[in-house]
Amino acid sequence: MFDRRRFLGASASASGMMLAPWLQNALGAPSPGKPPMRFIFMHKGNGLFPSVLVPPSLSPADADKEQAKDAFSVDLNKHQLPDWMKPIAAHKSNMSILQGLSGKMCQTGHHTWQSSLGVYKANEKLTSIKWATVDFELARMFPSPLSHLELACFPTGGGNARGNINGIETGFSARGPQQPNLAYGSPKIALRELFKVVYNNKSDQVEYNLERKVLEFTAGKQSSLAGNLNGVERTKVANYADSVEEVRARNGRLEKMADVIRKHLPTLDAKYLADDITTVDRQRGHVEILLATLISGMTNVVAFTADELGTPYTGLNRLEKETVNLHDVGHNKGFGDLKADEVRTEVRLQHMSLINTIVTRLKVVPEGDGNMFDNTTLLYFPDNGETHHSSGVEWPFLVFTGRNTKLNIAGRYIRLPKHGKEGHKTLGNLYTTILNAYGNPIPHYGDLDLALEKMKIDQKGPIREFLA
């Protein structure tokens, strides 16, 4: 019996100068000649200290404003980046360091589930999921055969997955109310599931055709069962039936593209397909899947959990023989010869190397009168706010934007007014800005901060100075 929704799609080789193929409207892609906008949401666990994002070359006056958390903005091209950002230094003109947002309306602390993408207090209960997360809202605005792809380095304890780090499990995005998304936990399972539609092996073809029949039967059976239930149980079964039907529809779209998919099958190094894969190689393998899927045109939106608080970190630079426990790091425990802050630095350096790979590769794929990165936005942020035991009073972001994106923030260090001060902005304001910029006129995305409401600070709507 199928007890989970599987995301089926296709990806293509992420090599060099290959032109991204245009898909027809019938397959859910943009009209020919007009590149879609693409979005990558990459988030990390264990918080992100605002202090480590500050350029060390600020003037004394700006350093005083930073210390007081007062609003100011400077040109990044005139400043030195923190050392851990060296892997992305070549992309400084595309990058913005965004400080001062808050997310106190979100679940904070150790595990946050869909909170940082949905801007509400989410937990393990389905009923806590109020609406689609922002990545799914954007996926609907820029449709594709896959619609949306989620990849994750799952934890082994606490949070999502709870041990099944190589499977397809509940992710950190949501398709709609009470509808958690599912994510691929390893490059191996992602590769296997994404390319079922073009299996050449006869036994694999038999398996795929059998799965098609099971899905068809299951969709009908669950739809019939939903009609005989009431309340929450009816909603659960109906959502499940919708999920199965969605998989069937995706399979149909992908089957029409089998020749394109077969032509662009990615080749992953054997180490990315191993069952005992290190965390670092798991991340790198996920990046290959992410790039292949975007470059092929199979999806325009990817959510990528680089790590979660309970992710057992292996393969980390300078700690190759260690299994790093991020929870212990959050409580100031070092590993090997490194202190806790040094471990955090190595984790961030690893993340920046992944981002450099993504941005660099997209910049060499021609598209329109430029390259694919011109039409891409990548957001890197903590899923729980400013620190290990976070309160959500700050939520730092790195944002990478191409020249055709509709946000006017590239190449800047931006400090917004601190929480409680007039002009302060939240996660909801940032996501409202992005949605509004690309055509969704929503007045405000996400829940409001009750403390700011009591202070009578306006927290609704977009951050207008960020709109191009």
Q: Cβ distance 327 to 334 under 8 Å? A: no
d(CA 81, CA 93): 12
Q: Is residue 457 part of a domain?
A: yes
Domain span including residue 173 = 25-194+249-466
Instruction: With respect to residue 9, please indicate whether it lies within any of the assigned structural domains.
Output: no
- The pLDDT of residue 233 is 61
Check residue 2 and give its pLDDT. 27
Q: What pLDDT does 10 receive?
A: 28
pLDDT score for 371: 97
Whether residue 226 lies inside any domain: the answer is no
The pLDDT of residue 209: 54
CB 113 within 8 A of CB 122: yes
**CA separation (Å) from 156 to 118, 152, 153, 163, 256?**
24, 12, 10, 4, 38
> Edge to edge, what strands does the sheet with 168-176 contain?
72-75, 412-415, 95-99, 397-401, 376-382, 38-44, 301-305, 149-152, 179-184, 168-176
Which residue from 139, 146, 239, 161 is spatially nearest to 193, judged by alpha carbons?
146
CATH number, domain with residue 350: 3.40.720
Beta bridge mates, 367: 370
Question: What CA–CA distance (Å, rounded) separates 148 from 468?
Answer: 26
Residue 154 lies in a domain: yes
Instruction: Output the pTM of the full model.
Output: 0.87
The verdict on residue 253 lying in a domain is: yes
Instruction: Give pLDDT tens digits along the chain (468 positions).
Output: 223 333 323 233 333 333 333 333 333 444 456 899 999 999 999 999 999 999 999 999 999 999 999 999 999 999 999 999 999 999 999 999 999 999 999 999 888 999 999 999 999 999 999 999 999 999 999 999 889 999 999 998 777 777 789 999 999 999 999 999 989 999 999 988 887 777 666 556 545 554 555 545 555 554 555 555 565 565 565 665 666 667 767 777 777 777 767 766 778 999 999 989 999 999 999 999 999 889 888 899 999 999 999 999 999 999 999 999 999 999 999 999 999 999 999 999 999 999 999 999 999 999 999 999 999 999 999 999 999 999 999 999 999 999 999 999 999 999 999 999 999 999 999 999 999 999 999 999 999 999 999 999 999 999 999 998
Total residues found in the chain within this entry: 468
Give the count of alpha carbons within 13 A of 148, CB side only: 26
- In b/e form, how buried is each residue of 304-338, taking b as 16+ CB within 10 angstroms? bbbbbbbbbbbbbeebeebebbbbebbeeeebeeb
Best CA proximity match to 111, nearest among 151, 176, 170, 179: 170
Provide the token pair at 195. Answer: 């390319």
Q: Tokens 């795929």 map to which residue?
A: 208
Q: How many CB atoms neighbour CB 126 within 10 A?
A: 17
Asked whether residue 244 is domain-assigned, the answer is no
Pull the structure tokens for residue 394. Answer: 């700050």
pLDDT at 17: 32
CA atoms in the 13 A half-sphere facing the CB of 85: 22
Asked if residue 20 belongs to a domain, the reply is no
Answer yes or no: is 217 within a domain.
no
Residue 269 and residue 193: Cα distance in Å, rounded?
A: 17
Which residues fall within 8 angstroms of residue 456, CB to CB, at 6 or more apart? none
Contact 154, 210 (CB under 8 A): no
The strand pair at 149-152 and 38-44 is best described as: unpaired
Structural domain count of the chain: 1
